[in-house]
Structure 1
Amino acid sequence: MSNVLPQRLSQRRVVPTTRSPYQCARSRRIVLVQARSKASEAVVLVGDIGGTNARLSAWRADLASPSASELFAKTYPTADYDAFDHVVEEFLSEPSVRSSPPQAAALAIAGAVSNNRCNMTNVRWLVDGDALTAKHGFRVALLNDFEAVGYGIPALPEEDLEVLNDVPVQPQAPKVVMGPGTGLGAAQLMWDCGLGAYRVWPGEGAHATFAPRGWKQQALAQFVTDKYGHCEIEQVACGSGLELIYEFLASDEPANRPHLLAAAGAPGAKGGKKRAAEISAAALTGSDPLAEEAVDLLFAIVGAEAGAMALRSLAKGGVYIAGGITPKLLPRVRQGSLLEGFLMRSGRPPFHKLLTHTPLFVITNEKVGQIGAREVAKRLLAGSFGGS
């Protein structure tokens, strides 16, 4: 395993260059758009819409910087409402919101967004941004949840990033964001010359077939295929994937590792199937070596997919690992399995070299999606967001 990774970078380094291949003649246009704005700040509505809860908040945001202050926030259990429209109406009727009504809204949704609409899968809601715009009089944009994370990246302060591969960030170069949580989200950021800012392109690449490395990952892929008929990347690179990996490791012949498997609750031993939170906690405390192995295997897979995404877009602007799992397991991440998976040392030398010169970060701010949604709402006011 590689040496312990650096925890912080005192100052994020940027490639010094007088003429980047990614720079555009119109790259300062966004400054002109901001200069034409009539107000220096505005109130925006931000949403995080999931299958269990809809979280709405109103913010007073500075239009020229990421600075913002929260005015009001409330969480609404989705089971209590027949339609998302009812949630919005209730939120807008709150005294704190009525006194400072929003001028634009951006809603991050854990689902596929098409034409500013989303038919949610885990709750029977149709969320229609254009219908909300017509009803309430302010523009509403719907975003895939990782699309919102992508828009939050350029607004993150230095202290919200844990550096894994300490190499310079190239200005205006493509960026990649991905990470494990309930599923495995992913998006790409490409510089838009007309806007003078990054535009985010969400995707569903996590549902591609898992490409295992080494005999143990190959055995894992066969284990999942035998169980479900197919093994895609997300199945072994998210919260439930961690549980699958642990179950796979515990399925080993008990005579091979009797003490580990007995402690893990293997078939015939006391205990049962461990949940992701239990596996993570045991890995952090060191109380279960099998949990440590499962977490390291998960991060090796996440790192490999991050490296693959970096190569697809030549992400010299950086690869950013987000999601709910990685920040909570930073002590294990610092042991190096994620970085080793990313660097692809056993791959073809030219591409390994490309990855060694690609920045890699973990986003430690779990509200990055909310930050991104705020940035999109501000772009709506400036007329510089057209949706994905």
Structure 2
Amino acid sequence: MEVRNSSYLADAPVYDAQAHDAVVLVGDIGGTNARLSAWRAELDSPTATELFAKTYPTESFATFDAVVDAFLSEPAVQLSPPRAAALAIAGAISSNRCNMTNVNWLVDGDALSAKHGFRVSLLNDFEAVGYGIPALEPNDLVTLNDAPVLPRAPKVVMGPGTGLGAAQLMWDTGLGAYKVWPGEGSHATFAPRGWKQKALARYVTTLHGHCEIEQVACGSGLELIYEFLQTDEAANRPELLVGARSKKKAADISAAALLGTDPLAVEAVDLMFAIVGAEAGAMALRCLAKGGVYIAGGITPKLLPRVRAGALLEGFLMRKGRSPFHKILTETPLFVITNEKVGQIGAREVAKRLLD
């Protein structure tokens, strides 16, 4: 959720405004690993240098505070102590605190700030991705729909990974920069297009009682789509006569789709990307995202050959929709983010703002 003013503690030390750079602490905190890094960042540009990074298995630490203590005790970090920190966490943030879901940790930004003497802000992991977008380089992006990016226009970021993350970026005149507004729109009801997507929606609803967008547009969603495609009549899919139906992990489906060794895997990946593209187009229309729509997440960059095959772009453009809105989408830039560190970059940019 949003960066909150509660993390701007009145008694926290104030950084020398005359300085041109500073070291900031960046965190990517998940259920399995806590990745911390120290960056020397230039305050008036996106330029930054990573000074030290270390990954800490969550199972080895009783509390997150102990992880921070371990990181700050590293000799390389003690040479250049951080002056602010932003921590991206896989969980819901409230009042600069997060009770993590998959590990028994309470992360309290204000308490960390009081303990260590520098400002700390917590943010949702996909919110961090949003803050990373303005700092990306051109070679961090693959263009799918080549249209002009309008300065200060709304932007949308979304993408499939463990789940389906999404956020909007709106220009904040007071900040002189974009502010990210995260959301949970991926849990809205899936709106299928065409008979096969409608059959998929029925299949998922029969299994789970409801079909939301995320259930068919993420890693586990890819597995579910593959499972659904095997329910077709063998007369329509003779290859299903060769052996019994099988369940495959998302990584195996993706690998088979890239190699072209399993036609069902290719179809499953393309169907998922068509759904992702449709939701990206819907988000673009909701806020007229002429600043661009950016597809992130762990899955899409790894499957770029299938992305380039066109299912995602076709889903996005909504050719069979009403012509005025199809035209808006044709004029909306669409990109895939290939830089896997975009979330860390975003957290770094938030940490820099804490120095202002």
Q: Same fold per TM (> 0.5)?
A: yes
Q: Kindly provide the CA deviation profile for residues 290-310 of structure 1, in whole angstroms up to 9, marking residues without a partner as x.
A: 000000000000000000100
Match of 1:322 in 2: 296
Question: Which residue of the other structure, out of 320, 333, 352, is the alignment partner of 1:359?
Answer: 333
Counterpart contact for 1:178–1:187, Cα < 8 Å: yes
Q: Kindly provide the CA deviation profile for residues 267-294 of structure 1, in whole angstroms up to 9, marking residues without a partner as x.
A: 3xxxx31100000010001101100000
Match of 1:8 in 2: none
User: Structure 2: which 5+ runs fail to align?
Assistant: 1-15
* CA RMSD across the alignment: 1.1
Question: Which residue of the other structure, out of 121, 127, 135, is the alignment partner of 1:147?
Answer: 127
Q: Kindly provide the CA deviation profile for residues 219-273 of structure 1, in whole angstroms up to 9, marking residues without a partner as x.
A: 00111111111111001000000000000001212232112x256x643xxxx31
Counterpart secondary structure, 1:332: helix
Counterpart secondary structure, 2:101: coil
Question: Which residue of the other structure, out of 237, 246, 249, is the alignment partner of 2:217?
Answer: 237
C-alpha separation in 2, matches of 1:171 and 1:64: 19
Q: Give 1:102 deviation, angstroms.
A: 0.4
- TM-score between the two structures when normalised by the length of structure 1: 0.86
Q: Kindly provide the CA deviation profile for residues 67-103 of structure 1, in whole angstroms up to 9, marking residues without a partner as x.
A: 1111111111111111111111111111111111100
Question: Which residue of the other structure, out of 42, 46, 49, is the alignment partner of 2:26?
Answer: 46
Match of 1:342 in 2: 316
C-alpha separation in 1, matches of 2:197 and 2:300: 20
Q: Give 1:160 deviation, angstroms.
A: 0.6
Match of 1:24 in 2: none
1:201 aligns with 2:175: no
Question: Which residue of the other structure, out of 214, 237, 246, is the alignment partner of 2:226?
Answer: 246
Within-5 A mapping of 1:22-61: 37-61=17-41
Inter-CA distance 342–95: structure 2 relative to 1 (3 Å threshold):
same
Match of 2:207 in 1: 227
Match of 2:7 in 1: none
Match of 1:84 in 2: 64
Counterpart contact for 1:243–1:276, Cα < 8 Å: yes
1:112 aligns with 2:105: no
Counterpart secondary structure, 1:79: helix
1:179 aligns with 2:159: yes
C-alpha separation in 2, matches of 1:238 and 1:350: 30
User: Structure 1: which 5+ runs fail to align?
Assistant: 1-35, 383-388
What number of residue pairs does the alignment pair up? Answer: 341
Match of 2:6 in 1: none
C-alpha separation in 1, matches of 2:298 and 2:23: 28
C-alpha separation in 1, matches of 2:205 and 2:152: 40
Given residue 166 of structure 1, which amino acid in structure 2 is its aligned partner? D
Given residue 39 of structure 2, which amino acid in structure 1 is its aligned partner? W
Question: Which residue of the other structure, out of 337, 346, 350, is the alignment partner of 1:372?
Answer: 346
Match of 2:271 in 1: 297
Counterpart contact for 1:250–1:266, Cα < 8 Å: no
Q: Give 1:124 deviation, angstroms.
A: 1.1
- TM-score between the two structures when normalised by the length of structure 2: 0.94
Q: Percent identity?
A: 81
Q: Kindly provide the CA deviation profile for residues 149-183 of structure 1, in whole angstroms up to 9, marking residues without a partner as x.
A: 11110010111110000010111000000000000
Q: Give 1:65 deviation, angstroms.
A: 1.3
Counterpart contact for 1:251–1:266, Cα < 8 Å: no
Given residue 107 of structure 1, which amino acid in structure 2 is its aligned partner? L
C-alpha separation in 1, matches of 2:210 and 2:103: 26
